[in-house]
Amino acid sequence: MADHETLGIQVPCPPRCSPFRGEELAAESRAWIRSYGIADPVHDYADLAFFSMPLTVSRARMRWLCDYFQWLLPTDDLLDRPAFLGADPVGVRRLIDGLDRVVEGGSGPWHSPYVAAFADLWRRIVPDLSRAQAARLAGYCRDYGEGLIFMAEQRRGGRVPPFTEFLTMRRKESVGDVCLMLIEYSTGTDGTGRRGDLDEIRAVFGDYAIVTQDLLSYRKEQQDGDLLNCIDAYRLQRGCSREAAFAAVTAMERRLRDRFIELTGHSGPHPGVYADGCRLFIAGYLAWTFSAARYRETDRSA
């Protein structure tokens, strides 16, 4: 039985797959990321874009989204896994400083191929965003870096922060806000002026994705000796057993899933393409995760 079946994790709606999914677009995206010397021999992250993004996204934007995920997941592995830089705050900060320079309008030469690839992504997306959206996306990217540095500092110091503080920084490190911006990008909407009435969707989206990911990746993180996840943060704060913490976080996932479905459903308080995009992103992300090897214990590359 698969991990998600054992855990009772279900997709909130049937996932869909982009009509652009195919060898040609994926091959273009693989060639792009490999041109920077970044390659994952096990995974092709273009599929994450094909499954999680709306069916209406244009081919040009789908290509950008494929490239983004081809960049994001190897970069996240580099910066967030203890086996790489995840316990080296100096190394993480050095690379994050380069990413920050990109969103602040700096120019190369870049010291890292990960920064150079991100600079190309940034150059290509900004013309398709409003000025307000570009400013928000820059802030979300800085939050991502702040979260990664914080987590590296905790690992280096052998610390697990209190659960509330952990969740605050985990939200930043999870790139949930960046993914929500990608939903705007892929649907051609601008949520800048609607931030108030969409706050709960955004908050539930972020926490739902975090809790689900931490449940699915827990055994692999144990194998890596990494305690920075919802289960261990909850366990250490409450002083309870691992089984009790796992049960509590599993119950949290179910509550978040139910509320997410209420908020993003067609009869919910905010119907429309943005809510549809949020719902389909989670469904596609989970469907891809269930089928990929990324969080399996035997997969040492991710």
Are 65 and 128 contacting, i.e. CB atoms less than 8 angstroms apart? no
Picking from 261, 270, 276, the residue whose alpha carbon sits closest to that of residue 199 is 270
Task: Encode the chain (302 residues) as per-residue pLDDT tens digits.
Answer: 346 666 789 899 999 999 999 889 999 999 999 999 998 888 889 999 999 999 999 999 999 999 999 999 999 999 999 999 999 999 999 999 999 999 999 998 999 999 999 999 999 999 999 999 999 999 999 999 999 999 999 999 999 999 999 999 999 999 999 999 999 999 999 988 776 668 889 999 999 999 999 999 999 899 999 999 999 999 999 999 999 999 999 999 999 999 999 999 876 666 688 889 999 999 999 999 998 877 765 554 43
- Provide the number of structural domains found in the chain: 1
Asked whether residue 163 is assigned to any structural domain, the reply reads: yes
Asked whether residue 20 is assigned to any structural domain, the reply reads: no
In this structure, what CATH number is given to the domain that contains residue 163?
1.10.600.10
Query: How many CB atoms within 10 Å of residue 239?
Result: 8
Asked whether residue 135 is assigned to any structural domain, the reply reads: yes
* Structural domain for 60, as ranges: 3-10+28-38+45-291
Picking from 48, 54, 70, the residue whose alpha carbon sits closest to that of residue 16 is 54
**What pTM was estimated for this model as a whole?**
0.94
Asked whether residue 22 is assigned to any structural domain, the reply reads: no
Task: Please tell me the distance from the alpha carbon of residue 251 to that of residue 245, in angstroms, as a whole number.
Answer: 10
